[in-house]
Structure 1
Amino acid sequence: MIKIIRAEYIRQKILRLYFSDSSWGDYDLQPLIDRQTELTHPLNDDSYFQQFFLELGALCWRNGLELSPGSIHKKLEERQQLHYETKVA
């Protein structure tokens, strides 16, 4: 099972996510925010957006929004935006 092990704010509504399989990608949450649901509406505020945290490998905000690491990983892979760390001996 894929987990997010680290997340960094990059700019605007983009987070750099590092996964448990040594992959990473920059995930743009703007399309999700544009849906303007009850849970995504607070993410319009930059200060609130940057208060994300990880819980059991999922990307979360304090209002209860929780995004599946497997789903994000799959979307990044489908868009060819997933990168893999190269290990140096």
Structure 2
Amino acid sequence: MKCHNVDVIEVQLVKDYIVRLTFDDGTSGEVDISKIISFEGVFKPLNDREFFSKVTVNSDIGTITWENGADISPSYLREKIINQK
């Protein structure tokens, strides 16, 4: 169930832990995921770049996810992009 106002609709791996995200409101930009999470708990597998590279968009929850169920709030990701500009 979605509980936010913005959804990620596209993700592209740029390099290492940097992803380019596009949101349904037209916002887009790059985020270095390694700077916003600690690689602990559910995020620990993301420290493996091969595992990290399998990032996808889960349209049911409107954000990026990985095979182990890890996800990051789309509102938080959008805020990080906007604050970089």
Q: Same fold, TM exceeding 0.5? A: yes
Name the SS of the counterpart of 2:42 in structure 1.
Answer: coil
> Counterpart in 2 of 1:48?
51
Q: Deviations over 1:2-26 (max 9, x none)?
A: 1111000100100000011111010
Within 2, Cα distance between the matches of 1:36 and 1:8?
Answer: 20
Give how far 1:79 is off.
Answer: 2.4
- Alignment RMSD: 1.3
Of the three residues 24, 30, 46, the one matched with 1:20 is 24
Q: Do residues 62 (structure 1) and 78 (structure 2) align?
A: no
Q: Which has more radius of gyration?
A: 1
Q: Percent identity?
A: 27
Letter matched to residue 83 of structure 2: E
Q: Deviations over 1:32-86 (max 9, x none)?
A: 45x2311111111111001111113111111121111111101211222xxxxxx
Q: Do residues 8 (structure 1) and 15 (structure 2) align?
A: no
Question: Normalised by the size of structure 2, how large is the TM-score?
Answer: 0.83
Structure 2: runs of 5+ lacking an equivalent? none
Within 2, Cα distance between the matches of 1:71 and 1:62?
Answer: 20
Runs of 4+ in 1 over 6 A off after TM superposition: none
Considering fraction of residues, name the structure with more helix.
2
Question: Normalised by the size of structure 1, how large is the TM-score?
Answer: 0.80
Letter matched to residue 77 of structure 1: I
Aligned length: 79
